[in-house]
Amino acid sequence: MLEGNLSAAGKRFGIVVSRFNEFITERLFRSAFDGLLRCGAKPKDIQVVRVPGAFEIPSASRTLAETRKYDAIICLGCLLRGDTAHYDVIVNEVARGIGQSAQETGVPHAFGVLTCETLDQAIDRAGLKMGNKGFEAALAAVEMANLRQAVVGKKDVSCQLSAVSKKRKPKLSLHSKKRSR
């Protein structure tokens, strides 16, 4: 049976954290960072990227994953339901984007984005009654990074990611297209 362990020693992690609802996301971030350190990660091996809101998390996490410098990406944010359908649209796109990035790059992504009905629920999940989901996301990232390494081996991870990147078609800029008349 294969399973990952909780040793972050020698591993590199990216943390993407939303500034929107910062009262909550900062608590998630501090606990995630602490979780990585407690598992043996070095501060120099943790890259923190701050984005405006949860909607931007998938793009930033994908950018980090495509560098092939990180063993796992931790995605942190907080979405609170409002009176409009905006919440549902954002929740679905964030979840889809993070999952798609993980699947297409092969780099594990830990989902630490709170999706709550109320601020009280978010506070509970960011360190009060329900533990801290940032800490839990960090542990999941460490475990999945180790599991991935156990399954495919360290050398094969970079080769596989390289193959994924090659499959993506390069974007043409407007200046590089030749016009035909």
**Number of neighbouring beta carbons within 10 Å of residue 169:** 6
Look up 175 and say whether it is catalytic: no
Closest to 95 in 3D by CA, of 80, 81, 125, 75? 75
How many Å apart are CA 29 and CA 93, to the nearest integer? Answer: 21
Element of type H or E holding 74: strand 72-80
Catalytic residue among 69, 86, 96, 154: 86
Q: Residue 16 in contact with residue 76, Cβ under 8 Å?
A: yes
Q: Which two tokens stand for residue 9?
A: 């020693």
Show which residues are catalytic. Answer: 86
